[in-house]
């Protein structure tokens, strides 16, 4: 048994972990701090701590406290929870905590699942058999997909939203933590493939929703007259300005009004706009022009200004010229 005087340093404690001694007795007054290594797996020791009496004896009533697990190959202590009375200068490495390891593991598994799924569907069935999932996909097409595509165009972009995103998560790894530390890449791969195998239909249902979303999104892109393009221009202009308050000129039903409003009320996707974020005086102007509880659409927005600068101005509507007879065409009127 190694014996040390309290307090010991981190380096002295790590040296004990590296050497062949299984126990460490750190003397203090009026007790000892007693550490023990217990082999858990090949190359991994569990480290426990308990208090002992002044003469070094340990009572069977004294609790053992888990202090961490030591990876011999890395010479690193994970999930450390050391008493400062024994190791005075110990500082926990955030990357070696159980929470951090769990987060890294989940992120790695999610990335692996997404990589497999987004690069081919050979692991999945060709169609759904679960009635609940079939109804879920149908509801998505009928109820949710149009707004989701609109938000996608106005608020973000298609790159990530049209890719499968895994919902994998685990809060308590238990012995899986040892599997992960012993073979990180291999264990992540095995876990990801097991998850895909277990959730094949759920993953296919999500991919079918993505297909529907892509179809709706592409339809918007293919229609230059869709008002969502103007909404995107307004949203981008307002966000790029950095403004807190802007002035918006609205033209509707033959009436026109210019009011102040919060920039955020014009940013992002809105089925319609209103005057709720306008000051009281401007709200009165708006309601006198358009009526109480009236809303306006993106096509009613004529201009938006921030300070003296116009950050958005609607293009003038195209005026179609009347069709004229082709040059050289002669119409003769008259009777016999």
Residue 195 φ/ψ, nearest 5 degrees: -65, -45
Domain shared by 139 and 235, yes or no: no
> Which residues of the chain are under the pLDDT cut of 70?
1-6, 28-31, 52-62, 157-160, 317-336
Instruction: Quote the CA–CA distance of 64 and 79 in Å, as a whole number.
Output: 16
The pLDDT assigned to 95 comes to 84
The pLDDT assigned to 325 comes to 46
- The residue from 189, 221, 253 where one domain ends is 221
The pLDDT assigned to 87 comes to 84
The pLDDT assigned to 161 comes to 72
Size of the chain, expressed as the number of residues it contains: 336
Q: pTM higher than 0.85, yes or no?
A: no
Residue 334 domain-assigned (yes or no): no
First to last CA, the chain: 132
Q: Count of domains in the chain?
A: 3
Task: Identify whether the C-beta of residue 211 lies closer than 8 Å to the C-beta of residue 128.
Answer: no
Residue 327 domain-assigned (yes or no): no
Domain that holds residue 165: 99-221
Domain shared by 134 and 239, yes or no: no
Domain shared by 121 and 167, yes or no: yes
- The residue from 221, 240, 273 where one domain ends is 221
Q: Is the preceding peptide bond at 30 cis, omega within 30 degrees of 0?
A: yes
Residue 330 domain-assigned (yes or no): no
Domain shared by 132 and 54, yes or no: no
The pLDDT assigned to 32 comes to 76
């Amino acid at each position: 048994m190694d014996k040390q005087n309290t307090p010991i340093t981190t380096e002295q404690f790590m040296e004990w972990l590296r050497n062949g001694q299984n126990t460490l007795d750190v003397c203090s007054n009026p007790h000892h701090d007693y550490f023990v290594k217990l082999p858990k797996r090949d190359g991994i020791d569990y480290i426990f701590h308990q208090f002992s009496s002044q003469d070094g004896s340990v009572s069977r009533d004294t609790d053992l406290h888990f202090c961490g697990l030591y990876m011999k190959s890395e010479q690193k202590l994970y999930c450390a929870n050391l008493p400062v009375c024994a190791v005075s200068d110990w500082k926990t490495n955030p990357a070696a905590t159980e929470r951090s390891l769990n987060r890294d593991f989940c992120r790695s598994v999610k990335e692996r699942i997404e990589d497999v799924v987004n690069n081919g569907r050979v692991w999945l069935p060709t169609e759904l058999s679960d009635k609940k999932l079939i109804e879920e996909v149908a509801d998505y097409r009928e109820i949710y997909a149009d707004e989701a595509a609109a938000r996608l165009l106005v608020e973000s972009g298609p790159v990530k939203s049209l890719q499968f995103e895994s919902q994998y998560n685990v809060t308590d790894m238990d012995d899986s933590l040892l599997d992960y530390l012993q073979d990180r890449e291999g264990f992540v791969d095995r876990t990801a493939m097991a998850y895909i195998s277990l959730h094949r239909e759920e993953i296919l249902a999500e991919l079918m929703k993505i297909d529907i979303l892509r179809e709706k999104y592409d339809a918007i892109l293919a229609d230059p007259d869709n008002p969502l393009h103007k909404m995107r221009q307004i949203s981008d202009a307002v966000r790029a300005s950095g403004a807190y308050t802007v002035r918006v000129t609205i033209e509707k039903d033959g009436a026109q009004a210019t009011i102040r409003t919060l920039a955020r009320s014009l940013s992002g996707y809105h089925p319609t706009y209103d005057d709720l974020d306008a000051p009281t005086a401007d709200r009165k102007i708006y309601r006198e022009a358009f009526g109480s509880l009236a809303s306006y659409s993106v096509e009613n927005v004529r201009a938006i200004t921030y300070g003296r600068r116009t950050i958005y101005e609607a293009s003038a509507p195209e005026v179609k010229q009347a069709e004229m007879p082709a040059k050289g065409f002669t119409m003769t009127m008259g009777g016999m």
